[in-house]
Amino acid sequence: MPDSPKFALATFAVYAVVLYNVNSFLWKFVFVGFVVFRLLRTDFGKRALATLPRDLAGLKLLISVKSTIRRLFKRDRPIHEIFLDQVKAQPDKLAVIEVETGRQLTYRELNELANQYANLYVAEGYKMGDVVALFMENSIDFFAIWLGLSKIGVVSAFINSNLKLEPLAHSINVSKCKSCITNTSLLPMYQAAIEKKLISDDINVFLAGLKTDGRHRSLQQDLHLFNTTEPAPVDGLDFKSVLCYIYTSGTTGNPKPAVIKHFRYFWISMGSGKAFGIRPDDVVYITMPMYHSAAGIMGIGSLISFGTTAVIRKKFSASNFWKDCVKYNVTATQYIGEICRYLLAAKECPEEKQHKVRLMWGNGLRSQIWKEFVGRFGIKRIGELYGSTEGNSNIVNLDNHVGSCGFMPIYPHIGAFYPVRLIRVDRATGELMRDKNGLCVPCVPGETGEMVGVIKEKDALLKFEGYVSDGDTQKKIYRDVFKHGDKVFASGDILHWDELGYLYFVDRCGDTFRWKGENVSTTEVEGILQPVMDVEDATVYGVTVGQMEGRAGMAGIVVKEGTNVEHFLADITKRLTENLATYAIPVFIRLCKEVDRTGTFKLKKTDLQKEGFDLTQCKGDPIYYWSAADKSYQPLTEKMQKDIDSGAYNRI
């Protein structure tokens, strides 16, 4: 008790009362010294003093970010006008470089390209509130198109370029778009969904690029017909207007479009950039997909917020990463845990010591490889962060603390002014733990719980904008949490809060897990498996694999009696590869002979997850692993299990 923060603060309060009644200045000085000395002898006092510089830095950042965003709220300009400030300040500065093509544009040229796209769509009759889906790979045009559309109030839906058939169709359909822009390389996937009548052929399809198949319009071929001047201002278009939809996987099985308004886009890009010291002279290397918020907001958004130069690569390449960094004088780049692991696994090259990268920021760098990664590649600063596309609160690691994704001050009753909290949950069921009054139980330092963000409707920065579907929005809100009548955003993520206030990502709760930097919805994969004739029941879950980041997908399947296993595996392989992105294909399949079920006759996912792909724990059930090289499922042997766990075999 004497070392608890509440006891320390209560003691301080008593001392303060005594101090107030002491008249002598000398005695006041002596007494203050005694109080400080006494508090610093407590465990809490020592911890509070140790974390004070970090907490003050966090407070300074918070004040800076909020003052900037509130100043822009008063000006109430849409984001393209903020970008125009950069264009006017440095029209001839190099803005973007496309690695594969060598294409380069200055700020003036990039803005003129965006204007041409805007004027083209004005001529097509598009107006404020219309939606255009962008089913595209990383490119200069991806950014120029949505920036141009934002100038006329048209909303862009960022579609995951890995999606196929049902998930792709759902993403297109739920956006209610009037047209879709895609690349020639992705057109076959779109066409396959149309042929199966999953997408209406009434949606206009445009091609970004000069190539055309003779059936679809090529936008770039027509761009020269439209002038480069700014389109006419749109009434009602402001800082609070909807800018785009960015999709996030959830527990309902299909990607959900999160609503991103102009101010939220700028807030995320500016806030993360300020946290980690992004500067106008930085060259930012973008290798992650621009349909995600990491590259699509924090990466390319640095042009809008800070006036940087962006180097865009279509897809991440471990063998070319450091070569590109040296060639283009990159100073800052993003990562996810998988990227860091791939870079460490790659052969050494001279460029990994010759680069000028001072900052890498992102999420998922495991504490086990943090020091090795920084030491090998000489990165001065790692900017680990935690946040979600749709969430109303985010955290950042400001002081390079190994393994941490952010922090919360350790002072009691921090929730009165700090919007991020942890609450206790039952790890086995995912259910919230509530007290006798029906309120949630807040975590204290040293505990683990689900991160939530306090929702305040009158504060635009703490308001939860949600998804296009109101039903999806309501599922992410907890009520009666800290007091009756309040609301919080439910992140669905479990974090640990240590004694110094640092936060560490532990796991995802519910029906979503993360693999190869992507969120995988278990119900989406189950929805692909369950219609198969020979499947009696199926459940999907994530399992840990050695030291690899995230969780690998595993499907526990009960097949009908008499099923030919060889034919069955061939059938589901075809179905899975046709319908799912590569990261969503289950890495392991367990054919369950005897299964435990819940009271509602569902397979007990928790038990299956604990047993994982350990052959000694799986009651003799045959297990198959996904061979990415062969694109087929192969029987798991004891030797292969050990090779996968140790990392000797990593082609999964």
Same domain as 631, residue 557: yes
Same domain as 440, residue 567: no
Same domain as 306, residue 440: no
pLDDT at 1: 43
* Confidence (pTM): 0.83
Round the average pLDDT of the chain to a whole number and report it.
Answer: 88
Of residues 2 and 424, more confidence is placed in: 424
Residue 215 has pLDDT above 80, yes or no: no
Residue 354 inside a domain? The answer is no
**Mean pLDDT over residues 226-230, rounded?**
95
Both tokens of 349, joined, read 């090259």
Measured CA to CA, the distance from residue 92 to residue 476 in angstroms comes to 45
Q: What are phi and psi of 582, to 5 degrees?
A: -60, -35
| Residue where a domain terminates, one of 465, 484, 508 | 508
| Residue where a domain terminates, one of 315, 335, 364 | 315
Residue 193 inside a domain? The answer is yes
Q: What are phi and psi of 502, to 5 degrees?
A: -75, 145
**Mean pLDDT over residues 14-35, rounded?**
56
Same domain as 563, residue 450: no
Burial class (CB in 10 A: 0-12, 13-18, 19+), 215: exposed
Q: Taking the CA of residue 417 as centre, how many other CA atoms within 13 Å lie in the half-sphere pointing to its CB?
A: 7
Angle between helices 337-345 and 367-377 (to 10 degrees): 50
Q: Range with the lowest mean pLDDT among 2-6, 560-564, 609-613?
A: 2-6
Same domain as 107, residue 12: no
Identify the CATH number of the domain in which residue 418 sits.
2.30.38.10
Same domain as 613, residue 559: yes
Residue 363 one-letter amino acid? N
Residue 296 inside a domain? The answer is yes
332 C-beta neighbours (distance < 10 Å), count: 25
pLDDT digits (tens, 9 = 90+) for 395-406: 999 999 999 999
**Mean pLDDT over residues 413-437, rounded?**
81
| Residue where a domain terminates, one of 484, 508, 532 | 508
Task: Give the chain's domain count.
Answer: 4
Residue 334 inside a domain? The answer is no
Task: For residue 489, give the nearest of 456, 514, 443 by alpha carbon.
Answer: 456
484 C-beta neighbours (distance < 10 Å), count: 10
Residue 471 has pLDDT above 90, yes or no: no
**Mean pLDDT over residues 216-224, rounded?**
86
Task: Determine the structural domain holding residue 603 and report its residue range.
Answer: 512-646
Residue 366 inside a domain? The answer is no
Residue 652 has pLDDT above 70, yes or no: yes
Convert 66-104 to b/e letters by CB count within 10 Å (16 or more is b).
eebbeebeeeebbbbbbbbebbeeeeebbbbbbbeeeee
**Mean pLDDT over residues 577-605, rounded?**
79
Measured CA to CA, the distance from residue 33 to residue 600 in angstroms comes to 64
- Non-local (6+) Cβ contacts of 320 within 8 A are 313
Same domain as 622, residue 550: yes
Q: What are phi and psi of 267, to 5 degrees?
A: -60, -45
Residue 379 has pLDDT above 50, yes or no: yes
Same domain as 502, residue 636: no
pLDDT at 234: 96
Same domain as 493, residue 433: yes
Residue 538 inside a domain? The answer is yes
Identify the CATH number of the domain in which residue 87 sits.
3.40.50.980
Residue 360 inside a domain? The answer is no
Both tokens of 303, joined, read 């042009």
pLDDT digits (tens, 9 = 90+) for 303-355: 999 999 999 999 999 999 999 999 999 999 999 887 888 898 889 999 999 99
Strands (E), 498-562: 502-508, 512-515, 518-521, 535-543, 552-559
Same domain as 551, residue 471: no
Measured CA to CA, the distance from residue 420 to residue 407 in angstroms comes to 10
For residue 86, list its beta bridge partners.
Answer: none
Measured CA to CA, the distance from residue 389 to residue 519 in angstroms comes to 12
Same domain as 593, residue 520: yes
pLDDT digits (tens, 9 = 90+) for 135-166: 999 999 999 999 999 999 999 999 999 888 88
Same domain as 518, residue 483: no
Identify the CATH number of the domain in which residue 558 sits.
3.30.300.30
Residue 357 inside a domain? The answer is no
pLDDT band at residue 251, thresholds of 50, 70 and 90?
A: very low
Both tokens of 92, joined, read 């001839």
- What's CA 105's distance to the chain center, in Å? 28
